Amino acid sequence: MQFPSIDGGVIDMSAWDGQPVLVVNTASQCAYTGQYEALQALYDTYRDEGLVVLAVPSDAFRQELDSADEVRTFCEMAFGLDMPMTDILPLKGDNAHPFYRTLRDQAGFVPRWNFNKVLIGADGAVLGTWGARTAPMSRDITNAVEAALTGSGP
């Protein structure tokens, strides 16, 4: 699966084959935007073990800045993010990015708000989904990440 990168070019998830990936739909003007800090902490904590955290900015809920440049600058300045980040993408409906259409069709999951989290296992299977209220460093998520990293499942 490929995504347009916020930095230009393409993010190809095949580069992470064999690694768990936490995909999070984000928005810069949401009450949950502070979760960027915890997402970076999660990435920093587990990246050396193989976890990838992929931020997917979206204006699906009308809370994203107007351009990818604004989003990138905001995230770098406010949160010091260095995790992979896509361009601003649609999440719902017929125009949804193929990742989210596949997620809907195969796992029945459609983000209901910003900062919904989806853990994809090393084999590409969906291991868990969490809503905006579940903090990135919560035990629910860290337990699932640790299990995915050791191959013992969530």
- In order, the DSSP letters of 59-76 are -TTS-S-SSHHHHHHHHH
| CA separation for the pair 56, 111 (Å, rounded) | 12
30 is catalytic: yes
- For residue 58, which of 109, 96, 98 has the smallest C-alpha distance? 96
- Residue 108 burial class via C-beta count within 10 angstroms: exposed 0-12, middle 13-18, buried 19 and up: exposed
| CA separation for the pair 26, 148 (Å, rounded) | 23
Task: Kindly name the residue from 4, 5, 30, 45 that is annotated as catalytic.
Answer: 30
What positions carry a catalytic annotation? 30
